[in-house]
Amino acid sequence: MKCVCHGTLIVLLFHQLLVLKMKKSEGRRYFNHSIEQLESIFEQSQFSEDDLSALKQELSHRKDGIKSRAGRLRIRVVDALAILSAN
């Protein structure tokens, strides 16, 4: 009986972790993408306001700062969005 209770507890904890991960990733189209993939997406979609906005949103969750790749990419994304909105 002790083993069954312990197993049930593990299943419940695993389920809670999955729910938390799903909540964290809600609305984040690029949640599971690496920085290399995000950079590639940026290069391919510099003229898509929708894609750039999704990139900007994802990068706001990543390590920020001039020295980080995510921070530098975020600056490029913001600049590209500014250019698109100016036209």
- What span, in angstroms and rounded, lies between the C-alpha atoms of 44 and 48? 9
Return mean pLDDT, the chain: 81
Query: What span, in angstroms and rounded, lies between the C-alpha atoms of 68 and 80?
Result: 19
Q: 2 phi and psi, to 5 degrees?
A: -60, -40
What are 11-34's pLDDT values in tens digits?
Answer: 666 556 555 555 556 778 898 999
Q: Is 25 exposed, middle or buried (0-12, 13-18, 19+ CB in 10 A)?
A: middle
For the chain, which residues score pLDDT lower than 50?
A: 1
Are 30 and 58 a contacting pair, CB within 8 Å? yes
- Rounded Cα distance between 22 and 16, Å, is 10
Structural domain that includes position 82: 2-86
Q: Report the pLDDT value the prediction gives residue 82, as an integer from 0 to 100.
A: 95
The count of domains in the chain is 1
pLDDT at residue 87, as a whole number: 80
